[in-house]
Structures are given as C-alpha cells and as structure tokens.
C-alpha cells in the first residue's frame, strides 16, 4: 500500500490525519490556513521533513487567492501567512526552512506578474515534496550500509513515512536494509506522551512487513543491558552547527544509555533539518506543549490528579559527543561535526 503523508490535491491540501492512527487511515482536506495551522498544532501532520512540505503547501494555500495588485502588496500577504504558519511549532527546522525557501523564490521573481509568482510558489512547494522523496531514499541508501544482517535496532517517536512524504529518515534506513534482504528486528519506544512510536511507527513497520516489537520508553535500558539492541537510530527536528541534535523528548536518554552500553547511536536527517544559524544545542527553542497531553490519555481519560503541575517539553537535545554519526542524503557525517557538517552539507551544496 502506497502512503503519501501530505500533498496538494483537488486545489486543497490532502493529508493523513495521524491523530486517528492506528484506528483508521483517514485523509483530511484543508482549504484555509487557519484549519492548516490547527492540523499542525494538533499533530494531524507532524515530523520535521513533513513540516517542511507543509510550509510550502501552506504558503501556497494562503496566497493562491490573493488579489494583490503589485509585489509589495503580495509580499505583505505572503509574510503574514508565513509568520502565521511559523507560529505553530517552534522546534522543527524544516518548517522554517520551507517558509524561507518560499519567500526567497517569490522575491527572486518579484518583477513577474502576480499570477506567475503564484505558479512559481506552487512549483517550489512541489519541488520540496519531490526533494524529500529523493533525500529520504538517499538517507536510506547511506544508512543501510551501517546495518548488518540480524541487527536489532531501537528507535523512538516516528521518523518514517508519516514524518516525511513517503519513506522516512530513521525508518528509511530500516526500509532500505529490509529491501536489501537483511534480516532486522526493530524495537519501537512508545514515545510518551503522544505515543508516536506506538501509534505510528509500529503501525507503519507492520504494514511494511518488518519485525517490530513495541516497548514502553522505560524498558529500553533493560533491553540494552541484556545485549538485545545492536544500534539505535533516531530522527531529528533541528541540528545545530556543532552537531547537537534536538529530537523527540526521550532521545537524549537513549543516547546516554547507548553510550553506557557501548551501542552506536545514530541520527538520520536531511540537510533541511540542519540549522547553520544555531551554534549549539542549548540555543534551540524547545516547544512546550499542553500539560493535558501528560495528565489525560488523548484528552479523554484522566490519568493524573487534577491541578497537578506538569512539565511537557516536546523535544530534548542530544549533545554531539553521544552521536556516533549523522546519516544524511549527502553521506554519513562523523565527528568532528562542526567541520564535517560544513564540508559535507554546506560546502557541497554551494559548490
């Protein structure tokens, strides 16, 4: 079964409503920016690379009916919709990368008639989607070289089809190794509080016929102690210039545990997740989410006393020293990260 997380269809945005998985695979169609903002905020669509595509499609959605008479008016409208979409979730670099990319392409063509600029914006959004499909497959190709036959891999959150357009980053590595007929087993951390590992990762791995076992987050240490985990692979939401990596809350603990148990800990992410403007992990803005995600099961059933104080950061930062390598579409980056990120991603892109 082919799954496409987010696309432009019938003059609107079509996306898989991830809040309904694994109960049902349902698509929603979105016609206006406010509903789109809500869809991102409530994680109907989520995952850093998918949010890069969302930025492109969201900007087009916001300006396609513009009646601006000149570029100055048009730019004002575009800046407004970009700021609105950008106000949704602060951590994933790809969202802002996508918004910046749309603004840049429009500005470069500012002398064209407005209908032409709209078409250019639409094409750029489609380019982001096409590039993501290609990037994930290349991440898979490079990453699969690190995977041995009979490896057992631990992952967290969802860095798969549902976090990208149709293949995945961390799970892309697993899919490629599987396509190469390597026998692999996956342990998926459930990923409290929103359970992306339980609801999404184990669902899509099952659909792909991959041997997956779901665990509670607190079970990872014991599995490692028993020698049952050979590698850990996680995605990323934002990678600082020095290699420090923000990803789903709980990733840092897995990295610490991996170091103690001498298990290689890998990050898999496209170039669009790297933020050369952020020097180190402590400068990354971490999204704080509604405490009810922790005190209630999906806003339905209380599992904690009313009024209890809640700490609910959506992400944490793994220091670069704990990361064995970062798998990208341009190759595998190893320490020293600052120099090698520059060499493999930045310099290679602008050569």
Question: Measured from the CB of residue 328, what is the shortest distance to ligand MRU in angstroms?
Answer: 12
202 binding ligand MRU? (CB under 6 A): no
Q: 78 or 159, CB closer to ligand MRU?
A: 159
Closest CA to 327 of 197, 205, 233: 233
For residues 73 and 56, give the distance between their C-alpha atoms in angstroms, rounded to a whole number. 20
Closest CA to 232 of 294, 290, 315, 174: 174
Query: How far from the centroid of its chain's Cα atoms is residue 243's Cα?
Result: 17
Q: Quick check: 235 and 247 in contact, CB under 8 A?
A: yes
For residues 343 and 46, give the distance between their C-alpha atoms in angstroms, rounded to a whole number. 30
Question: Measured from the CB of residue 292, what is the shortest distance to ligand MRU in angstroms?
Answer: 15
Q: Which residue has the tokens 């184990």?
A: 202
Catalytic residues: 237
Identify the bridge partners of residue 213 per DSSP, sorted by sequence position.
187
Question: Measured from the CB of residue 262, what is the shortest distance to ligand MRU in angstroms?
Answer: 24
344 binding ligand MRU? (CB under 6 A): no
Q: 102 or 157, CB closer to ligand MRU?
A: 157
Q: 68 or 310, CB closer to ligand MRU?
A: 310
237 binding ligand MRU? (CB under 6 A): yes
Q: Quick check: 159 and 169 in contact, CB under 8 A?
A: yes
Question: Measured from the CB of residue 50, what is the shortest distance to ligand MRU in angstroms?
Answer: 7
- H/E segment holding residue 34: helix 33-41
157 binding ligand MRU? (CB under 6 A): yes
The full DSSP string for 223-271 is: HHHTT---EEEE--SEEETTS-EEEETTHHHHHHHHHHTT--EEEE--G
52 binding ligand MRU? (CB under 6 A): no
Cα distances (angstroms) measured from residue 266 to each of 154, 155, 183, 197, 324: 10, 10, 19, 17, 6
193 binding ligand MRU? (CB under 6 A): no
Binding part of the chain for ligand MRU, among 25-33, 77-85, 156-164, 342-350 by CB under 6 A, reads 156-164
345 binding ligand MRU? (CB under 6 A): no
Number of residues that bind ligand MRU (CB under 6 A): 18
Residue nearest to ligand MRU (CB): 235
95 binding ligand MRU? (CB under 6 A): no
118 binding ligand MRU? (CB under 6 A): no
47 binding ligand MRU? (CB under 6 A): yes
Q: 105 or 189, CB closer to ligand MRU?
A: 189
322 binding ligand MRU? (CB under 6 A): no
Q: Which residue has the tokens 């250019």?
A: 120
Q: 196 or 202, CB closer to ligand MRU?
A: 196
- Determine which residue in the list 59, 102, 128, 314 makes contact with ligand MRU, applying CB under 6 A: 314
198 binding ligand MRU? (CB under 6 A): no
Q: Which residue has the tokens 């793994």?
A: 318
- Which tokens go with 165? 């357009």
Query: How far from the centroid of its chain's Cα atoms is residue 4's Cα?
Result: 14
For residues 206 and 73, give the distance between their C-alpha atoms in angstroms, rounded to a whole number. 49
- Determine which residue in the list 95, 153, 163, 229 makes contact with ligand MRU, applying CB under 6 A: 163
Question: Measured from the CB of residue 18, what is the shortest distance to ligand MRU in angstroms?
Answer: 8
Cα distances (angstroms) measured from residue 262 to each of 111, 230, 319: 57, 9, 16
- Which tokens go with 249? 């809350």
62 binding ligand MRU? (CB under 6 A): no
Binding part of the chain for ligand MRU, among 2-10, 205-213, 235-243, 297-305 by CB under 6 A, reads 235-243
154 binding ligand MRU? (CB under 6 A): no
- In this structure, the strands spanning 27-30 and 12-16 are antiparallel
236 binding ligand MRU? (CB under 6 A): yes
Q: Which residues bind ligand MRU (CB under 6 A)?
A: 43, 46-49, 92, 157, 159, 163-164, 169, 196, 235-237, 247-248, 314
């Amino acid at each position: 079964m082919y799954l496409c997380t987010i696309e432009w269809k019938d003059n609107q945005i079509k996306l898989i409503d991830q809040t309904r998985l694994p109960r049902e695979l349902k698509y929603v169609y979105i016609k206006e920016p406010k509903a789109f903002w809500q869809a991102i905020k409530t994680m109907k669509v989520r995952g850093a690379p998918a949010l890069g595509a969302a930025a492109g499609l969201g900007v087009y959605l916001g300006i396609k009916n513009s009646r601006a008479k000149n570029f100055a008016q048009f730019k004002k409208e575009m800046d407004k919709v970009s700021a609105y979409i950008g106000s949704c979730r602060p951590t994933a670099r790809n969202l802002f990368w996508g918004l910046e990319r749309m603004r840049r392409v429009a500005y470069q063509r500012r002398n064209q008639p407005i209908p032409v600029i709209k078409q250019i914006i639409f094409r750029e959004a489609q380019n982001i989607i096409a590039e993501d499909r290609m990037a994930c497959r290349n991440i898979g190709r490079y990453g699969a070289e690190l995977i041995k036959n009979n490896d057992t891999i631990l992952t967290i959150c969802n860095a798969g089809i549902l976090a990208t357009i149709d293949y995945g980053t961390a799970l892309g590595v697993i899919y490629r190794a599987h396509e190469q007929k390597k026998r692999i087993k996956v342990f998926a951390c459930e990923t409290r509080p929103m359970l992306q590992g339980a609801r999404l990762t184990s669902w899509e791995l099952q659909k792909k016929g991959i041997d997956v076992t779901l665990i509670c987050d607190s079970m990872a240490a014991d599995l490692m102690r028993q020698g049952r985990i050979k590698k850990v692979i996680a995605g990323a939401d934002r990678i600082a210039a020095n290699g420090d990596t923000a990803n789903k809350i709980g990733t840092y603990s897995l990295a610490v545990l991996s170091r103690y148990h001498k298990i290689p800990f890998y990050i898999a992410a496209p170039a669009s997740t790297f933020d050369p403007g952020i020097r180190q992990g402590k400068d990354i803005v971490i999204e704080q989410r509604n405490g009810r995600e922790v005190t209630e099961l999906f806003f339905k059933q209380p599992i904690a006393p009313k009024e209890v104080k809640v700490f609910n950061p959506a992400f944490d930062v793994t220091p670069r020293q704990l990361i064995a390598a970062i798998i990208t579409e341009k190759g595998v980056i190893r320490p020293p990260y600052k120099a090698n990120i520059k060499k493999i991603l930045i310099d290679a892109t602008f050569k």
